[in-house]
Each structure stands twice: as structure tokens, then as C-alpha cells.
Amino acid sequence: MLRGEKVLLRPLKRSDITNFLKWFNDPEVTQYLSMYLPMTEMAEEKWIEDAASRIQAGTHVGLIFEAIEGDSSKTIGTIGLHGINPKDHGASFGIAIGEKDYWGNGYGTEATRLILDYGFQQLNLHRIASSTLAFNERSIKLHKKVGFREEGRQREAFFRNNHFHDLVMFSILRNEWRGH
């Protein structure tokens, strides 16, 4: 587990499926994600099983993050490092806050800092990549706030809300993280 002042990052549990089904079937949440089809319980169970295999193989770190509220906590999202490549010391970063009441309150920023630190310090990563849809202003702000640099765009790569949108590509290197 990774703990900050406002968040606790913990491993995935089978019981997280309930939250995933709620979050990933909410169009307001999924408009910012690459997924676009409704999530079924069977598909989510399969995803968690596959994630467990990737975690065991060392190519994935998938965590749930909880908002710490006094002596208790509330599950609010998921965060991870995916496609971990030990040869090139790289990975891809992803985050989703499913509990909309927690959007824009610094929980994602702290969770991101914790997992980036884990990636660079514990996993010995050199580069962590990420991407977000161009209209996701909160995500772009988060990336820049924690030190990611924009690398480019894939023009009109995603169709959302009856429009094509650019995909903004980011990365952060270990030496940039240390200086941030």
C-alpha cells in the first residue's frame, strides 16, 4: 500500500467490481476514458483476473485509491502503471476517478505523485508515458502539474459526444520527476 495525506493506494480486490460497474457504466465518467461500451460484471471479473496475471508477471501495477477521511476511507478511483517494460525501463500511466464528488479536489494529483514515485523509485523506471483526450482539461492540468511534458497529439483519434477529438500524448522522465 502507498499512503499520502489524502489518499491510500491499495491492491485491487474482487469486491471492487461493484465500484467499477458503477463508474464504468456512467457516461459522465467514461467520456474521458478510452472505453465506450457498457461494462458487464463478467467482463470486469475477467479484467481483474487478467490484471492479477499481469501484476504477477511484473508488467502491471493496478491499484485502487481511497480518499482518507479521518479514521475511515472511501474508494474513489483506480490508478496504475501498465505495459511495464523492464528492458526499456518504461510504462504507461492511467487514472480514473469514478466518484465525481471527488473530481478537482487534489485526490488525483496526490495519487499520481505516489504512483510516479513508486514507478521511478521502486520499479526503476526511466520513462512513464500517458495520454488524455484534448477536451479533458482536468487531466491535462494534472499531467502538467506533476511534471509530465506534452510530446504531441494524435489528431482526431477519438470519437466522443458526436465529435472527433485529439489525443494528447505526455511523458515524464526520471530526472524530470526528481526535479519536480
pLDDT, tens digit, 9 for 90 and up, residues 39-59: 777 777 776 777 667 766 666
Query: What pLDDT is stored for residue 55 in this prediction?
Result: 67
Confidence of residue 36 (pLDDT cuts 50, 70, 90): low
Comparing 24 with 77, the larger pLDDT belongs to: 77
Query: What pLDDT is stored for residue 41 in this prediction?
Result: 75
Confidence of residue 180 (pLDDT cuts 50, 70, 90): low
Helical segments of 9-164, H only = 17-23, 27-30, 41-57, 107-121, 137-145
Rounded Cα–Cα distance for residues 27 and 103 (Å): 15
Phi, psi of 90 (to 5 degrees): -130, 165
Rounded Cα–Cα distance for residues 4 and 11 (Å): 15
Query: What pLDDT is stored for residue 67 in this prediction?
Result: 86
pLDDT digits (tens, 9 = 90+) for 110-152: 999 999 999 999 999 999 999 999 999 999 999 999 999 999 9
pTM for the model: 0.86
**Ordered structural domains, the chain, with CATH:** 2-126 (3.40.630.30)
Q: Which residues contact 157 (CB under 8 A, 6 or more apart)?
A: 164, 165, 166, 167
Percent of the chain scoring above 70 in pLDDT: 91
